[in-house]
Amino acid sequence: MAAPRRKASKAAPSTGRPSREEAHDAIRTLIRWAGDDPRREGLLETPDRVARAWEEMFAGYNQDPVAFLRGTFEEIEGYDEMVILRDIRVESHCEHHLMPIVGTVHIAYLPEKRVVGISKLARLIDVYAKRLQIQEKLTAQIANSLNDVLKPRGVGVIVNAVHHCMTTRGVHKTGVSMVTSQMLGAFRDDARTRREFLAIVNGGANSRES
């Protein structure tokens, strides 16, 4: 006689984002797991400090990257040359070990009819950086958002960053940085455009191809 089939257990319903007190309890648990006592004087305020730090470091989950690019300008007097913002500091955290990723981003685009304020480019980077990330995805998200909203003739993004999950733990290899790039439109299809972008990023504003 066949054994009666068990009913599949239902997953507990999601309760949404944990409360601040639940976050504090989780941090206390990790402190205990590390071997310390969260009740001692020096650690009493640590759970709240860590929770507030996480609110800042992962603020990108509450922000819309497209919103930062909506304020574009069409009165550009026919300007159709490359727009570059380089050496933008980026601070993110890897989704594998929650360790810092710190480096620089270089952005370029060839406007079709619209340009965007340069501060908006820096804010676009922060929206995606202030989430759990891998560098490859971060690079693509920045480039794709700029391409989708501005509809330029091309977009180029280069990210050069140090991963602390590699330098301060694991293999402990210092002095190593990771470089990723995403080239769209003219930056992918036109070698001269791509070379000009790379020359300016690597050699300065006067390193334009003749």
Strands 83-94 and 132-133: parallel
| Residue 172 to residue 46: CA distance in whole angstroms | 27
Helix, strand, or coil (residue 184): strand
Report the candidate in 46, 11, 12 with the shortest Cα–Cα distance to residue 26.
Answer: 46
3-state secondary structure 85-104: EEEEEEEEEECCCCCEEEEE
33 contacts: CB under 8 Å, gap ≥ 6: none
For residue 7, give the amino acid letter: K
Strands annotated E in 95-204: 100-110, 115-116, 132-133, 154-163, 178-185
Both tokens assigned to 15: 């309760």
Active-site positions read 94-97, 135, 163, 165
| Residue 77 to residue 209: CA distance in whole angstroms | 24
Query: CA dihedral defined by 209, 86, 104, 61, rounded to 10 degrees?
Result: -130
